[in-house]
């Protein structure tokens, strides 16, 4: 278990290191390169929507590519250099190359006075403009009387919006959405961590036979989800809910952004996952500012999605700055969050509804060898070898424990066909996997029936 965890950490770390330097944006070579590299780890299709495609009230923009950019001082020295960090250039900047005064340059400079060593991340997707981002320290050193050679070698021309897609087919009618975005340049927690987690989660689920279907999409934020909804209206309308992966590897606390419903199955499996692990996440109610969950929850689609974060976007100081880099995130945190998502998905998979074959009175467990043979020891605290203690472990944290006998008793009491395993887990404060394993044991003993899957 530990060995597998460490192996996944290594893979996550390699992906973070390899993908971090790539200059990604809504469109362009950076996104395509990223998708290609990820396709070595998980199987998915790379798809494309042409620039100019109308999607509801939006239009897929021209493709943006950039090869170089700099600001040179009078001595010809590159004082701001795209090659050192791609976030020095406002994403979607139009090309420019000329000498200008400080006064001409200044309106195009972006910096943060309150975080003087950080370079902010800025975009200008829908307004043709250009700009540079620099630290406040760098800004203060600029000669107010000086002249500067300013150059952005970019191209904005019809091309395509690229995205990744994979559908894992299950046997039930339910399809869940797992979405992340891939449009940020060299920024680690928001959003490279989400990209890597999306890939590792896909890789892991592709190894399994799943009960439900899972639609994985990796798109540029906002316009990507809008374009995807537009071209996949009927399947998205039927989506059973899902997860939007974002900001999953920071040093700060675990967080959970609720779906727009707040108490949907997705919310409940996330809450139960945290509960079983003894982690109290920071809870963020749904709000209309956020990532693609807002588009998915639009009135026509109303797809409830939840988000598990580690250092949620908007909440950490380094958000959208050069300090959100590979020193800020850790692959180990990313894999911890991955395991939370896997545990939540496992609960979706295990959430069957059972019905007892013994509705009049409970069946006699003793004659089936399912009950401790020496009477009187039940409920005593001392450990009895008859009690099979089940421990649910994840990331070396020990969660709630309970005996299999407890699970049997409650299952035979609760399973009247109206309650799902999650209902029982929540009400009885027991682990879903213990209930599932026990319910399957009772099914084998012909004490419970599983209701037909829908
Ligand atoms: Zn962002």
Dump pLDDT digits (tens) for 405-419: 899 999 999 999 999
pLDDT at 387: 37
Query: What percent of the chain is helix, strand and coil (3-state, nearest 5)?
Result: 35, 25, 40
Please tell me what DSSP assigns to residue 29.
H
Give the lowest-confidence range in 106-110, 167-171, 390-394, 429-433.
390-394
Query: Cβ atoms within 10 A of the Cβ of 238, count?
Result: 12
Do the strands 58-59 and 54-55 form a parallel or antiparallel pair, or are they unpaired?
Answer: antiparallel
146 Cα to the center of ligand 1, angstroms: 34
Q: Helices 331-350 & 265-277, crossing angle to 10 degrees?
A: 120
pLDDT digits (tens, 9 = 90+) for 331-384: 999 999 999 999 999 999 999 999 999 999 999 988 888 887 666 656 655 443
d(CA 193, CA 187): 9
92 Cα to the center of ligand 1, angstroms: 15
70 Cα to the center of ligand 1, angstroms: 24
Alpha helix segments (H runs only) across 157-245: 194-206, 223-231, 233-237
449 Cα to the center of ligand 1, angstroms: 47
Instruction: Kindly report the backbone phi and psi dihedral angles of residue 339, in degrees, each rounded to the nearest multiple of 5, phi listed first.
Output: -70, -35
pLDDT at 385: 38
pLDDT at 377: 59
320 Cα to the center of ligand 1, angstroms: 6
pLDDT at 378: 62
CA 317 to chain CA mean position, Å? 20
360 Cα to the center of ligand 1, angstroms: 57
The pTM score is: 0.93
Q: ω into residue 178 within 30 of 0, thus cis?
A: no
pLDDT at 115: 98
345 Cα to the center of ligand 1, angstroms: 25
**Is the confidence at residue 324, as pLDDT, over 50?**
yes
pLDDT at 343: 97
| Mean pLDDT estimate for the chain | 93
Q: List CB-based neighbours of ion ligand 1 within 5 Å.
A: 190
**DSSP states of 292-356 as a string?**
THHHHTSTTT---EEEEEES-TTTSTTTTBTTSSTTT--HHHHHHHHHHHHHHHHHHHH--EEEE
221 Cα to the center of ligand 1, angstroms: 8
**Is the confidence at residue 388, as pLDDT, over 60?**
no
- Beta-bridge partner residues of 110: 133
Q: What value, to the nearest 5°, has the Cα angle with vertex 449 and ends 443 and 454?
A: 120
**Is the confidence at residue 400, as pLDDT, over 90?**
no
pLDDT at 372: 72
Work out whether the CA dihedral 431, 434, 440, 446 comes out positive or negative. Answer: negative
Burial readout 154-184 (b: 16 or more C-beta within 10 A, e: otherwise): bebeebbbbbbebebebeeebbbbbbbbbbb
218 Cα to the center of ligand 1, angstroms: 14
User: pLDDT class for 393, splitting at 50, 70, 90?
Assistant: very low
278 Cα to the center of ligand 1, angstroms: 29
Q: Quick one: which of 32, 20, 397, 435 has its CA closest to 186?
A: 20
Q: Contact at 8 Å (CB) between 303 and 232?
A: no
CA 214 to chain CA mean position, Å? 14
With a pLDDT cut of 70, the percent of the chain lying above it is 93
40 Cα to the center of ligand 1, angstroms: 25
d(CA 309, CA 332): 14
d(CA 84, CA 95): 19
Average pLDDT of the segment spanning 209-214: 98
Q: Contact at 8 Å (CB) between 266 and 259?
A: yes
Q: What is the CA radius of gyration of the chain?
A: 26
Side-chain half-sphere CA neighbours of 380 within 13 A: 11
47 Cα to the center of ligand 1, angstroms: 22
pLDDT at 375: 63
Do the strands 45-50 and 160-168 form a parallel or antiparallel pair, or are they unpaired?
Answer: antiparallel
369 Cα to the center of ligand 1, angstroms: 57
**Is the confidence at residue 204, as pLDDT, over 60?**
yes
Query: Cβ atoms within 10 A of the Cβ of 240, count?
Result: 18
Average pLDDT of the segment spanning 284-297: 96
pLDDT at 34: 98
294 Cα to the center of ligand 1, angstroms: 14
257 Cα to the center of ligand 1, angstroms: 15
144 Cα to the center of ligand 1, angstroms: 32
pLDDT at 381: 53
d(CA 110, CA 120): 7
191 Cα to the center of ligand 1, angstroms: 6
182 Cα to the center of ligand 1, angstroms: 10
187 Cα to the center of ligand 1, angstroms: 9
pLDDT at 169: 98
190 Cα to the center of ligand 1, angstroms: 5
pLDDT at 86: 98
pLDDT at 107: 98
Long-range contacts of 107-113 (CB under 8 A, 24+ apart): 108/132, 108/150, 109/133, 109/134, 109/139, 110/134, 111/135, 111/136, 111/138, 111/139, 112/136, 112/321
160 Cα to the center of ligand 1, angstroms: 21
């Amino acid at each position: 278990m530990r060995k597998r965890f460490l192996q996944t950490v290594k893979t996550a770390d390699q992906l973070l290191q390899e993908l971090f330097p790539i200059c990604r944006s809504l469109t362009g070579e950076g996104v395509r390169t990223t998708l290609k590299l990820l396709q070595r780890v998980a199987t998915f299709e790379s798809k494309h929507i042409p620039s100019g495609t109308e999607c509801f009230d939006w239009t897929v923009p021209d493709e943006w590519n950039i090869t170089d950019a700099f600001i040179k001082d009078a001595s010809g020295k590159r004082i701001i250099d795209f090659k050192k960090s791609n976030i020095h250039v406002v994403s979607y900047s139009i090309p420019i190359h000329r000498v200008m005064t400080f006064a001409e340059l200044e309106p195009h400079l972006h910096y943060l006075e309150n975080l003087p060593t950080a370079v902010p991340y800025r975009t200008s997707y829908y307004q043709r403009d250009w700009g540079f981002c620099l630290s406040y320290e760098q800004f203060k050193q600029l000669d107010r009387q000086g002249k500067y050679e300013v150059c952005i070698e970019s191209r904005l021309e019809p091309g395509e919006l690229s995205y990744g897609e994979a559908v894992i087919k299950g046997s039930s009618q339910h399809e869940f959405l797992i979405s992340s975005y891939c449009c940020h340049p060299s920024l680690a927690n928001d959003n490279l961590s989400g990209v890597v987690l999306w890939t590792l989660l896909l890789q892991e689920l592709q190894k399994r036979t799943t009960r439900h279907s899972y639609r994985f999409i990796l798109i540029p934020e906002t316009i990507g989800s809008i374009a995807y909804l537009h071209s996949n209206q009927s399947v998205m309308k039927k989506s059973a809910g899902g997860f939007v992966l974002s900001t999953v590897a920071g040093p700060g606390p675990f967080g959970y952004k609720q779906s727009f419903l707040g108490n949907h199955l997705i919310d409940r499996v996330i809450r139960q996952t945290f509960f079983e692990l003894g982690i109290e996440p920071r809870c963020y109610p749904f709000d209309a500012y956020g990532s693609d969950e807002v588009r998915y929850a639009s009135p026509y689609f109303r797809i409830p999605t939840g988000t598990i974060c580690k250092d949620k976007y908007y909440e950490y100081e380094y958000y959208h700055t050069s300090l959100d880099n590979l020193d800020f995130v850790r692959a180990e945190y990313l894999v911890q969050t991955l395991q939370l998502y896997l545990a939540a998905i496992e609960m979706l998979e295990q959430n069957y509804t059972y019905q007892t074959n013994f509705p009049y009175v409970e069946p006699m467990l003793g004659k089936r060898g399912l009950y401790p043979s020496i009477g009187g020891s039940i409920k005593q605290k001392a450990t009895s070898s008859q009690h099979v203690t089940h421990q649910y472990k994840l990331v070396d944290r020990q969660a709630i424990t309970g005996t299999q006998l407890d699970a049997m008793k409650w299952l035979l009491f609760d399973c009247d066909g109206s309650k799902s395993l999650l209902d029982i887990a929540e009400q009885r404060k027991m682990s879903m996997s213990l209930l599932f394993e026990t319910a399957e044991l009772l099914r084998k003993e012909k004490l419970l029936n599983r209701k037909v899957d829908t």
